[in-house]
Chain A
């Protein structure tokens, strides 16, 4: 990676990739919940919500967060595009 690339942030340093990957894998390790299970849950949430609302599937996020001491949480952020018939106006 050249000096200019780094200056302009063109390429991510490999240690930053390592750190991100570690942080992600450890969230799942610590909670004892595999990443694939979250994906499955995400798909099922989409199915349920899509019956009533049109949502932005690309922008939707379902994340596991692990508290230092306390409860693990599933945090969902689901952008709504519009309400489906017959509820919508």
Chain B
């Protein structure tokens, strides 16, 4: 059995890497896969709070790299989902505390005991990003449908290609169907046109993400919300299932949409 090592990265900050990592990790664990989620954002750790595991941290990734503990001691197992494990980032150090070759070595120690290693990359194109992609066998690029985020995603796609890790797959996050409908937001088609990369998921803007982040419970553990369904679909696609892309709902469906849904018995 081979361990799949998937890095989630973006270029631009704040587009949803950590939220994506937490939800994919939880969703894969729900599907019975043994998962380690690694927070590679040293100095700005967040994956622990998004997963609701912040109170259980004893050791972190820098402790492992510097030999203060063994890797297994630093892994935090989620009591709600026993197949989900977190390797937290250090909060009081910076990106230079770990080198790419150390990341590769660390992840190799997880081979065979886990099905998935998901790595939450920091924003930017500097050492933190290099650390995060060094052990990756697959890369997911998160972007939002904004000019600056798409531009940065393009840069990241170029860097990933140059590292021989390309082409990666795209997650388009925070789509607002109402804005798209008005022609005031780039849609999936526009972004794919520009980036020419395979799509693996479309996640709508969803207020329940705020609620779930407040509580430290990933949204996929929270019933059927639009973003939760979207993340679950991405996890299924990662597992090789062919899941059709959903048509995102607008709050005020137009006449045509309504007729269409009515005609299909969904009205």
Task: Write the residues of chain A forming the contact surface with B, with a CB cutoff of 8 angstroms.
Answer: 6, 13-16, 18-19, 21-23, 25-26, 29-30, 68
CB B176 to nearest CB in A, in angstroms, measures 11
Query: Which interface class (under 10, 10 to 19, 20 to 34, 35 or more) fits B?
Result: 10 to 19
Which of the 9-residue segments B111-119, B180-188, B217-225 touches chain A? B180-188
- How many cross-chain pairs have Cβ atoms below 8 Å apart between A and B? 40
Residue in A6, A15, A25 whose Cβ sees the most chain B Cβ within 10 Å:
A15
Judging by beta carbons under 8 Å apart, are B186 and A18 in contact? yes
Judging by beta carbons under 8 Å apart, are A15 and B187 in contact? yes
Which of the 9-residue segments B99-107, B146-154, B227-235 touches chain A? B146-154
Q: A15-B190, A30-B158 are in contact. Are A22 and B185 (CB under 8 A)?
A: no
18 contacting pairs across A/B (C-beta < 8 A): A6-B183, A13-B184, A15-B180, A15-B183, A15-B186, A15-B190, A16-B183, A18-B146, A19-B186, A19-B190, A19-B194, A21-B147, A22-B147, A22-B194, A23-B194, A26-B151, A29-B154, A30-B158
Judging by beta carbons under 8 Å apart, are A18 and B147 in contact? yes
Q: Is B77 an interface residue (CB 8 A)?
A: no
Judging by beta carbons under 8 Å apart, are B151 and A15 in contact? no
CB A8 to nearest CB in B, in angstroms, measures 14
Q: Is B155 an interface residue (CB 8 A)?
A: yes
Q: Kindly list chain B residues whose C-beta atoms are within 8 Å of the C-beta of A19.
A: 186, 190, 193-194
CB A67 to nearest CB in B, in angstroms, measures 12
Q: How far is B182's CA from A13's CA once the two chains are assembled, in angstroms? A: 8
Residue of B with least CB distance to A16: B183
Judging by beta carbons under 8 Å apart, are B154 and A26 in contact? yes
Judging by beta carbons under 8 Å apart, are B183 and A22 in contact? no
Residue in A16, A22, A23 whose Cβ sees the most chain B Cβ within 10 Å:
A22
Q: How far is B194's CA from A17's CA once the two chains are assembled, in angstroms? A: 13
Q: Mark B125-157, 1 if CB is under 8 A from A, else 0.
A: 000000000000000000000110011001100
Q: How far is B167's CA from A68's CA once the two chains are assembled, in angstroms? A: 13
The 8 closest A-B pairs by CB, nearest first: A13-B183, A14-B184, A19-B190, A18-B147, A15-B186, A15-B183, A26-B154, A22-B147
Q: Kindly list chain A residues whose C-beta atoms are within 8 Å of the C-beta of B150.
A: 22
Judging by beta carbons under 8 Å apart, are B183 and A14 in contact? yes
Judging by beta carbons under 8 Å apart, are B187 and A25 in contact? no
Q: Mark B40-62, 1 if CB is under 8 A from A, else 0.
A: 00000000000000000000000
Q: A13-B184, A15-B185 are in contact. Are A22 and B151 (CB under 8 A)?
A: yes
Judging by beta carbons under 8 Å apart, are B147 and A26 in contact? no
Q: Kindly list chain A residues whose C-beta atoms are within 8 Å of the C-beta of B158.
A: 30
Q: Kindly list chain B residues whose C-beta atoms are within 8 Å of the C-beta of A26.
A: 151, 154, 194
Q: Kindly list chain B residues whose C-beta atoms are within 8 Å of the C-beta of A25.
A: 147, 151
Q: How far is B190's CA from A60's CA once the two chains are assembled, in angstroms? A: 29
Judging by beta carbons under 8 Å apart, are A29 and B183 in contact? no
Q: Kindly list chain A residues whose C-beta atoms are within 8 Å of the C-beta of B196.
A: 68
Residue of B with least CB distance to A11: B183
Q: How far is B193's CA from A14's CA once the two chains are assembled, in angstroms? A: 17
Q: How far is B196's CA from A23's CA once the two chains are assembled, in angstroms? A: 12
Q: Kindly list chain B residues whose C-beta atoms are within 8 Å of the C-beta of A13.
A: 182-184
Which residues of chain B (173-226) have a CB below 8 Å from chain A?
180, 182-187, 190, 193-194, 196
Judging by beta carbons under 8 Å apart, are B186 and A29 in contact? no
Q: How far is B190's CA from A25's CA once the two chains are assembled, in angstroms? A: 15
